A and B are shown apart, each in its own frame.
Chain A
Amino acid sequence: MRKYSVFAVAREAMRGHRGWEAQWTSPEPRKEYDVIIIGAGGHGLGTAYYLAKEHGITNIAVLEKGWLGGGNTGRNTTIIRSNYLYDESAGIYDHALKLWDGLSQDLNYNVMYSARGVMMLSHNVHDQQVFKRHIHANRLNGIDNEWLTPEQAQEFCPPLDISRTARYPINGAALQRRGGTARHDAVAWGYARAAADRGVHIIQNCEVTGIRRNPDGSVAGVDTNRGQINAKKVGVVAAGHTSVLMEMAGVRMPLVSYPLQALVSEPIKPIFPCVVMSNTVHAYISQSDKGELVIGAGTDQYSSYSQTGGLQIITHTLDAICELFPIFRRMKMMRSWGGIVDVTPDRSPILAKTPVSGLYVNCGWGTGGFKATPGSANVFAHTIANDAPHKINAPFTLERFRSGRLIDEAAAAAVAH
């Protein structure tokens, strides 16, 4: 792999950009691999990368039904933060945040991580109490999170309407300065390039149709539309389709799949300096480096695998955005889309071994998986390599729904996230 650098850009500029090589290859699948990862999104490609980099396992295939990064990795609003309430969540999300800082250098790929600050708006006394509780819990875990008055919030984000007559008046905000955004496609591409460089096979348009088992019940490999591929270990990293894949191995999951929608505006000059979220009115907004306002909604009302969602959900979100930021009222929206998110009962992910020996699952990220990409991939690779969880993901088991040791971020936030 040729390293990307300012010298490479200069060299290619001199010779008409004819020397750039493909970022990853598309090899024919082998008969057998040590590890198969199902799903070439950020979490899956990252898992392959860390398996190769940190655990010396390079005989890996990442199988993808569609195209690389075309699922939720390419459909989210790219928000990164780690100010979760519980110790377990703080552990995994802050592990991810520490990896985001330095990921571009690690991958030699500009993932455009920008710690521009994530501000969560408080609209009522309940919000204020919940956010302050989060701030104190975060500080005890060494995670930055601070309380802002409405005036400080507007100073941090000038387009914000803090007038008392606003439809959704603001009585403060919680700010995580290390939070921000990254370029979602670049995360998938960067991990793919770095993994392929270490010998990982990335096989697109390869749909898994069955999970094969040995007579003793352990995993033997997978059936795909490109034939049977054997493997000692299989990791399922398939977001909204996890239930479908796990059913092939006879494992019923505590998951429900919902559409989650997002949309972008026409591109404009830089106007929006940070990320703003409002859980109460359910709107998320930031501005991409291309200039588009990136706006996210809450999940749809009913479960579905249609990557669309209902129009009333995004119009409701836009209503809220226009009330919070009257300056955007006359902007045109360019595109909207939906991704299928897998939601657990406690709104915390599952990164764990399964009842099937050699089968591992990384799922349940719900509406907030992008921010966790490097951390999730890193500890999931550890789990697969050692057949035992890393201490960071040890609490995120499948068995917690039997034992009752839930990590109840759903109750903590009173909102799907």
Chain B
Amino acid sequence: MLLIYCPYCEEERSELEFRQAGDAHIARPTNMTEMTDEEFEAFFFLRDNVKGLTFERWRHLNGCGRFFNAARDTVSDKFLTTYKAGLPRPDLGTLRPATETTVETYEATESDAK
């Protein structure tokens, strides 16, 4: 089970307390009634569904209840960092190379950890 660092509670808590809440750093439309069908589709239905490094909103639902942002690798499920909502995208270059080699299996992740 993953431990996720909540930037508001300032501690690592079990993933059971958290919920994924969509993509981060998205400008939500303010003129919904004037949008074309294409624009609405792109905002409402289409997703990048990134394999690898992605920036997402998460919510500490069964904790402080607040939304924050996370940089996560969707192949290894590793959280690279979490940060408060409203902050700009962190420079991951200082944390590690932007994309690690992708691992396909649990076994590969395990040996990576060792």
Contact = CB atoms under 8 A, between A and B. Distances in A.
Interface of A: 241, 243-244, 247, 252-257, 301-308, 310-312, 342, 345, 401-404
A290 B32 CA distance: 55
Given A252-B42, A312-B16, A304 B74 contact: yes
29 contacts: A241-B51, A243-B49, A244-B51, A252-B47, A253-B47, A253-B49, A254-B41, A254-B46, A254-B47, A255-B49, A256-B47, A301-B20, A302-B19, A304-B74, A305-B51, A306-B75, A306-B77, A306-B109, A307-B104, A307-B106, A308-B105, A311-B1, A312-B1, A312-B16, A345-B45, A401-B45, A402-B37, A402-B38, A404-B37
B109 A256 contact: no
Nearest to B106: A308
B41 A401 contact: yes
Contacts of A244: 49, 51
B12 interface: no
B100 interface: no
Nearest to A244: B51
A241 B1 CA distance: 24
Contact of A301 (B19, B46, B74): B19
Contact of A306 (B16, B45, B49, B76): B76
A254 B48 contact: no
A203 B83 CA distance: 45
Contacts of B51: 241, 243-244, 257, 305
Contacts of A254: 41, 45-47
B47 to A, nearest CB: 6
Range, interface on chain B: 20 to 34
A305 B41 CA distance: 24
Given A257-B49, A303-B74, A306-B77, 5 more contacts: A243-B48, A302-B20, A307-B105, A312-B1, A402-B37
A402 B37 CA distance: 6
A403 B104 CA distance: 37
Contacts of A345: 45
A304 B78 CA distance: 10
Listed residue (A307, A311, A312, A402) with the most chain B CB atoms within 10 angstroms of its CB:
A402
B75 A305 contact: yes
Interface string B66-79: 00000000111100
A253 B47 CA distance: 6
Given A306-B106, A310-B1, A403-B37, A243 B47 contact: yes
Given A254-B47, A312-B1, A305 B74 contact: yes
Interface of B: 1-2, 15-16, 19-20, 37-38, 40-42, 45-49, 51, 74-77, 104-106, 109
Listed residue (A241, A256, A305) with the most chain B CB atoms within 10 angstroms of its CB:
A305
Given A301-B20, A402-B38, A252 B106 contact: no
A304 B20 CA distance: 11
A404 B41 CA distance: 9
Nearest to A251: B46
Contacts of B46: 252-254, 401
A121 to B, nearest CB: 26
B38 A303 contact: no
A256 B49 contact: yes
Listed residue (B46, B104, B109) with the most chain A CB atoms within 10 angstroms of its CB:
B46
Contacts of B74: 257, 303-306
Contacts of B40: 402
Nearest to B16: A312
B37 A303 contact: no
What 6 A-B pairs come out closest when comparing CB atoms? A243-B49, A302-B20, A401-B45, A254-B45, A308-B106, A402-B41
A55 B106 CA distance: 41
A125 B37 CA distance: 38
Contacts of B47: 243, 252-256
B6 to A, nearest CB: 15
Contacts of B76: 306
Contacts of B1: 310-312
Nearest to A406: B45
Contacts of A401: 41, 45-46
A301 B20 CA distance: 7
Contacts of A253: 46-47, 49
B100 to A, nearest CB: 13
B21 to A, nearest CB: 9
A300 B27 CA distance: 27
Contact of A310 (B15, B37, B38, B45): B15
Contact of B49 (A301, A303, A403, A404): A303
A311 B15 CA distance: 11
A409 B99 CA distance: 37
B1 to A, nearest CB: 7
